[in-house]
Amino acid sequence: MTANPDSLIRFLLPGAGVRGVHVRLQATWAEILSHAAYPDSAAELLGEACVASALFTGHTKIDGRLSIQLRSSTALRTLFAECTAAGTLRGIAQLSEGADAPRDLSRLGDDAILAITIENPGLDPREP
């Protein structure tokens, strides 16, 4: 029997007043990386964004999807990661031609925008 290479496990430590989520991405991360040859820093940032979206999704217990999106006019044009309640995960980074992402996010410039979006269809006030 082999262990699942991807997992999301919620945990609770009542005596310490702590709850959290442990995420392990192996097969999913390999699949995301197989679609593009990212430079080192861009791959690291994309991996962190993918794990963060899975952690947030697991912690908030949403029924829809949670996305993290970063945009800037520097070498890192777009960084996007999305995780759904069903456990699907996707991510992409778009870079300027021949460039790598700055590892120090403060170098993204004053026009950089970070958005975390939660789409939870069951809580949409526009639906009857």
pLDDT at 59: 84
pLDDT at 87: 86
Neighbours of 81 (CB within 10 A): 26
Q: Where are the domains of the chain?
A: 7-123
pLDDT at 1: 45
Q: Is the Cα dihedral 60, 66, 71, 75 positive or negative?
A: positive
pLDDT at 5: 85
pLDDT at 34: 95
- Separation in Å, CA 97 to CA 20, 38, 74, 103: 39, 12, 11, 17
* Cα separation, 108 vs 41, whole angstroms: 13
Quote the pTM value. 0.86
Residues of the chain with pLDDT under 70: 1-4, 122-128
Joined together, the tokens standing for residue 27 give 């097969």
pLDDT at 126: 64
Please give the CATH number for the structural domain made up of 7-123. 3.55.30.10
pLDDT at 60: 81
